[in-house]
Structure 1
Amino acid sequence: MHVAAQIIFILLLSAAGAGIYLSIRRIRKNILLGRDEDRSDNKVARIKNMLLMALGQKKMFKKPLPAILHFFVYAGFLIVNIEMLEIAIDGIFGTHRIFAPYLGSFYPIIINVFEFLALTVIIACAVFLVRRNILHVRRLSGTEMTKWPLLDANLILGMEILLMIAFLKMNAMDQVLQDMGNQHYTATGSFFLSSLLKGFYTSYSEGFLLVAERACWWFHIIGVMFFANYVFYNSKHLHIFMAFINTYYAKLTPAGKLTNMPEVTKEVKLMLNLPVEETAADAAPGRFGAKDVKDLTWKNLLDAYSCTECGRCTQQCPANITGKKLSPRKIMMDTRDRLEEVGKNIKQHGADYDDGKALLGDYISQEELLACTTCNACVEACPVTIDPVSIIMQLRRFKLMEESQAPASWNSMLSNIENNMAPWKFSPADRFNWADKLKS
């Protein structure tokens, strides 16, 4: 029986590993569909940014209550699953708590920490479920938060609660079986929370507890395997892993500094008789701005996969607050959805396949783009340093520079800048006429 269980475990572990690998490969291929962009500078600053934002969750603590709850979920889930190493070894070799004899009295201390964190995960996830489904916190709703995003969040929270409950029940029954002197259950010392819970199981027979404890053990390990594959395959909780990568490659220059197209900058310098550095990359661009996801940079696409859908960006957006259609969260979700669609099309039909759709128009409307004030409030609010403004500006460029579509007021302003070197419709020679009145 033990050999059969080991074989089943190895097969399940291999299948889970293969599923995660295939998902990671798919995501990497999709991200690399974007244009190249150099983010390899200043490694020290990037590592510092990653540690502060992803590991330290610096921006989350602008809202203390959800930040503390999120920290417990985040730390609890990651740290508790360190125990997966022991579970994996036990599953492969048919052992039980293989680290206990080697760690001695330190082992129950570690498990006690794990159990405390498991309890905080259960409490925090329960609070998050109440906030989403009963209190209906405003930033967690919106036109883009359709049935799937809402269901996805609830599924993840529910799975985390069930996994932590299985972990605590498994430990509690393990303690009872140790007290019964079962040879397979290594004596580990007392676990605080398990000791409180084991009173519920002392009246059951040893045979029942053996089956129930193993059931919880299998539920926990299979649940974690399923959870990991689900997250990597199709869940916004991919940010658990992507946050580290995204914050490392985050923009280090001031958020308000817009990125100009080198080709346009060169032409402007030539018009002004300024020196221009000739490079091999001076060929004419294939497209001004961006129409679809392939026109965006790989960092823009990485941002899309890193989105947590927390709604902090939309909550802070002045355009959204005043009732306009723009939602920075929707911009990121639309970009991710379109990228997944393009990736599937390439896989099924080849790299040159055109489905007749585009990010601009089919997913994101011109009305949304024009509502953006480029204030970067969304960038400042994002806990993982996502930059929706960069995507918006590139889509805008396409509308203006490729399709020559802009509001009449914009066209008037641009014409004035071109002819008068100012947004106003008067000659540069008359620019200081207002000062003449000061002399009288």
Structure 2
Amino acid sequence: MNLSKRILVGGPVAAALALGAAAPAFAQVSGETAFVFNTLSFLMCGFLVMFMAAGFAMLESGMVRSKNVATICVKNISLYSIAGIMYYLIGYDLMYGIDAGGYIGSFSLFWSPDDTAALADAFPTEDAPGYAATSDWFFQMVFVATAASIVSGTVAERVKLWPFLIFVVFLTAVIYPIQGSWEWGAGWLDAEFGFSDFAGSTLVHSTGGWAALMGAIIIGARRGKYGADGRVNPMPGSSMPLATLGTFILWLGWFGFNGGSQLALGSAADAVAIADIFANTNAAAAGGVIAAMLASQVVFKKVDLTMALNGAIGGLVSITAEPLAPTLGGSILIGGVGGVLVVLAVPLLDKLKIDDVVGAIPAHLVCGIWGTLVVPVSNSDASFGGQIVGIIAIGLFVSIASAIVWFALKATIGVRADEEDEDMGLDRAELGMEAYPEFGAGSQRI
């Protein structure tokens, strides 16, 4: 994600450019004004993406049993904090200190903003007015936290707190930045294969999904989730209203996620592009909800609220790889396919006895792959071959690297809670507290 990689497509954007050239009222703003608007876009959209951390916390809190809610809240606020620290210590330079066409960036420690230099040469041309360096760092950092949040929900209710947070350190400091540099840092996937992922269907969401999948396999399913006869035992979450609130917060935050990835707001063309991205993002989420509801009615003979919620997320993930080029109708279809994929993937995981508490693997990994594959349909600058190479390369790297870390933790300090602690609930076992103390310990039986 950098300004030099931004692609302006036809349609409304081209019309805005033409209008800007023809009418004095749409004359180009000064370089300094564009600098301010670009910086403001990074910061405001970054605020929205940061608020997604609250969305993940609420969604996961609603989807886990009440005896694990406080632990989920601790994990989400701590993983966000770790992501910020590790991206400062090593992650940003590792992601953006890469040579063009390279495979890995710089392991320099302690990134520092170069805003003095940025201001000294901030406005070389009206076409590239620049932005505050720290605003870019902040915007990139909140994306890292999103990838880590995906893992939290999948391995909930049986992973120990500190081993999980150690995994987050490696994910945010090394694993995420290396694969991100291959595309957004202008590394080999961008230079050699033209891989295209506008806002991170693969680089953020599938990355989190692959890391979550490895964790779910290595840690194993929750006690009692799968019977010896192959039966799947439902383990209902503590609060569907809370999970619904979390989904709406994520939906809101996604406007910053995708809209901010335009990486500029210094011209009329950029403003039109961001408006189009907002509309397409909203349409894809809506398509995902309705498609998931219809699919769950067909598959399960009833509408499942959890499927509808993950249908929204699946639709959002699906459009994230290319939220600018599609039409509104196309966005609804892209999101709708994502919603159907969520409904189909959940029972498949259960058949494989892969326990994903919140359904993050279907919504983020499966829909991330789908959203990345469909990019060439609306963006002629991308190719199916390049997209497939990128999906496979990132999937292999993240899976292998994540598995190494999970296995290392399992062999040393252990990653899974004791059976007694898991049955009692991690809130009391690891935190010595309860999320809902007024209900009393006697209510914590499931």
Tell me which of the two structures has the higher relative contact order, counting C-alpha pairs closer than 8 angstroms and 6 or more residues apart.
2
Structure of larger gyration radius: 1
TM-score by structure 1 length? Answer: 0.25
TM-score, normalised to structure 2, is 0.25
